[in-house]
């Protein structure tokens, strides 16, 4: 079977996206496991992960790499965060901020098997409660589906190194259900423009509707 590395730690196997499994023999959602040349890969489902959808739809640069430290806002049950954990591998870190108790329960069992995933049961608006412990990060990944997503990103941006990347999934319906999504997206970009420049905008249809995926860089 042919394995091609398309970004550091991200592979294509027969046209499907995959990461190397940091916790061999275990699954996080219903992903398929594939063993090739004694290495176990997890297929990465773009219908379950907006980062996978963005990669398939043409993301040009992925600054999440081996050894990166990633602040993940809205980790939920760890679907995408676990693939980020695969990419950064054993010496990287994924700080998983999650507000929901229900999601945190499932996330904790994922983190138990992956030493580089650190769960933080907290509202990402209260960044001061975790910023000192975490310190500076290389990348922020944000998928919080909250109306004040722009403010949450700006608050947490103090933890991002200068020139660091942020990858953000914006769901227009979570911000304003009655507004034209294009206006919602423009208002988001305007709101964060003093701190971030836009590197790339990606639509993630057909995998997810009403979303815009952004690659940003801290100015």
Ligand X SMILES: C[S@@+](CC[C@H](N)C(=O)[O-])C[C@H]1O[C@@H](n2cnc3c(N)ncnc32)[C@H](O)[C@@H]1O
Residue ranges binding ligand X (CB under 6 A): 49-50, 73-74, 76, 79-80, 97-100, 103, 123-125, 143-146, 152
Minimal distance, residue 94 CB to ligand X, in Å: 11
Q: How far apart are the first and last CA of the chain?
A: 42
Minimal distance, residue 107 CB to ligand X, in Å: 9
If the CB atoms of residues 4 and 126 are measured against ligand X, the closer one turns out to be: 126
**C-alpha distances out from residue 15 to 12, 55, 65, 77, 81, Å:** 6, 12, 21, 26, 22
Name the closest residue to ligand X (Cβ): 74
| Beta-bridge mates of residue 200 | 215
Minimal distance, residue 81 CB to ligand X, in Å: 6
Rounded Cα distance, 26 and 20, in Å: 12
If the CB atoms of residues 75 and 189 are measured against ligand X, the closer one turns out to be: 75
Minimal distance, residue 12 CB to ligand X, in Å: 20
Q: Which residues contact 111 (CB under 8 A, 6 or more apart)?
A: 78, 96, 117, 118, 119
If the CB atoms of residues 70 and 189 are measured against ligand X, the closer one turns out to be: 70
If the CB atoms of residues 3 and 43 are measured against ligand X, the closer one turns out to be: 43
Of the candidates 139, 5, 3, 6, which has an alpha carbon nearest to the alpha carbon of residue 60?
6
Q: Which residues contact 63 (CB under 8 A, 6 or more apart)?
A: 138, 139, 164, 165
Minimal distance, residue 84 CB to ligand X, in Å: 9
If the CB atoms of residues 2 and 63 are measured against ligand X, the closer one turns out to be: 63
């Amino acid at each position: 079977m042919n394995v091609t590395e398309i970004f550091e730690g991200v592979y294509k196997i027969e046209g499907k996206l995959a990461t190397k499994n940091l916790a061999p023999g275990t699954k996080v959602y219903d992903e398929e496991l594939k063993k090739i040349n004694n290495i176990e890969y997890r297929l990465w489902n773009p219908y379950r992960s907006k980062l996978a959808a963005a990669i398939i739809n043409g993301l040009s640069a992925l600054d999440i790499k081996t050894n990166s430290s990633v602040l993940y806002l809205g980790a939920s049950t760890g679907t995408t965060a676990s693939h980020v954990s695969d990419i950064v591998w054993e010496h990287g870190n994924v700080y998983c901020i999650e507000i929901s108790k229900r999601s945190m329960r499932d996330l904790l069992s994922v983190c138990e098997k992956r030493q580089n995933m650190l769960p933080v049961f907290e509202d990402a608006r209260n960044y001061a409660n975790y910023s000192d412990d975490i310190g500076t990060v290389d990348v922020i990944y944000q998928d919080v589906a909250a109306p004040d997503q722009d403010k949450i990103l700006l608050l947490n941006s103090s933890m991002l190194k200068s020139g660091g990347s942020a990858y953000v999934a914006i769901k227009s319906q979570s911000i304003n259900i009655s507004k034209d999504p294009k206006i919602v997206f423009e208002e988001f970009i305007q709101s964060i423009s003093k701190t971030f420049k836009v590197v790339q905008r990606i639509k993630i249809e057909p995998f997810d509707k009403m979303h815009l995926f952004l690659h940003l860089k801290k100015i």
